[in-house]
C-alpha cells in the first residue's frame, strides 16, 4: 500500500522537513486529516525516544 496525503492537509504536510516527510511516507500511511498526521508524528517521536 502506498502512502496517501489528503489534499485537505497537504499544505500542512508540505511545511515539514524533507526528512520527516520521507519518514512518514515510508510508513505506508493514509493521512486523511490532521489527527492522522499527529498520530504518525507521535509514533515517530516515541520511536526516537526509545
Digit-coded pLDDT (tens) for 10-34: 999 999 999 999 999 999 999 999 9
Residue 30 phi/psi, 5-degree rounding, is -110, 110
* DSSP summary character for residue 9: T
Q: CB of 31 within 8 A of CB of 13?
A: yes
- What nine digits make up the cell of 42? 507521535
Q: CB of 35 within 8 A of CB of 12?
A: no
CA distances from 43 to 7, 14 (A): 22, 19
- What nine digits make up the cell of 38? 499527529
If you average pLDDT over every residue of the chain, what do you get?
Answer: 96
Q: What is the pTM of this model?
A: 0.88
Amino acid at each position: 500500500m502506498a502512502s496517501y496525503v489528503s489534499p485537505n492537509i497537504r499544505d500542512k504536510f508540505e511545511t515539514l522537513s524533507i526528512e520527516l516527510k520521507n519518514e512518514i511516507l515510508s510508513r505506508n500511511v493514509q493521512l486523511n486529516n490532521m489527527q492522522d498526521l499527529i498520530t504518525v508524528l507521535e509514533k515517530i517521536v516515541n520511536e526516537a525516544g526509545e
